[in-house]
Amino acid sequence: MNALESSLLTPDTLLVFGAGGHGRVVADAAVSSGSWGRVIASDQNRAVCCGRLLPGVELVQMEAVSSSDFALHVAIGSNLSREREATLKGLDRLVSIRHSAAVVSRASQISAGCFLAANSVIAPGVVLGIGVIVNHGAVADHDVQTGAFCHIAPNATLGGAVRIGNRVMIGAAAVVLPSVCITDDVVVGAGAVVTTDIIQPGTYAGIPARRIS
């Protein structure tokens, strides 16, 4: 894309920042939704910014995007990296993307920059902070509240009224029992079951979950 082409960007254009596996998933959902007339992608790794992320999704260098008149979604799986890039590029321009097969209650609140993958379930009363990923088949039951830049991995379940802080990672198929609270910067390992509040940052694993690092 040259400067002339980038000047044609409009609010109907979506830029997906992140050209890894998660970026492909996000771009695929964005294209399938039909919400944007054009979907393009970029990455902090200049070497990958050529060709296509997916059919119909061109990869471009960020400096080639001279216009600021487009929607932005930061598609990076790492919570810290996603937060950093979203902050650098402007939280006020982030948009959320939901797959058409996501089940999302109208009585939920989805903040800017969230991604809701296929077969994810967002129940009534759920409040998701900025930049949260709810991955394939993951469930946020009624009245769950999350901080910013969390990642709920595939097939994980947050029971009713769970509270989690910022930059929390809930691993694949992990379960957090109802009304449990988890502080900031916690990693819950795949398949773990969290039965009590977690008040210290760290990595937790097992059934019931215990701190391992």
Query: Do residue 56 and residue 142 come from a single domain?
Result: no
pLDDT tens column, 42-99: 998 988 888 899 998 999 888 777 666 789 999 999 999 999 999 999 999 899 999 9
- CATH value at residue 36: 3.40.50.20
CATH number at residue 130: 2.160.10.10
Residues 179 and 142 in one domain: yes
Quote the number of domains for the chain: 2
110: left (phi over 0), alpha (psi -120 to 50) or beta: beta
Low-confidence ranges of the chain (pLDDT < 70): 1-10, 66-68
Peptide bond into 201 cis (omega under 30): no
pLDDT value of position 7: 43
Name the pairing type of β-strands 163-164 and 139-140: unpaired
Contact 140, 124 (CB under 8 A): no
pTM: 0.93
pLDDT score, position 65: 72
The distance of Cα 16 from the centroid of its chain, to the nearest Å, equals: 12
**pLDDT on residue 62:** 83
* Nearest-angstrom CA–CA distance, 210 and 113: 31
Domain that residue 156 falls in: 97-202
What does DSSP assign to residue 78? S
Whole-number pLDDT of residue 117:
98
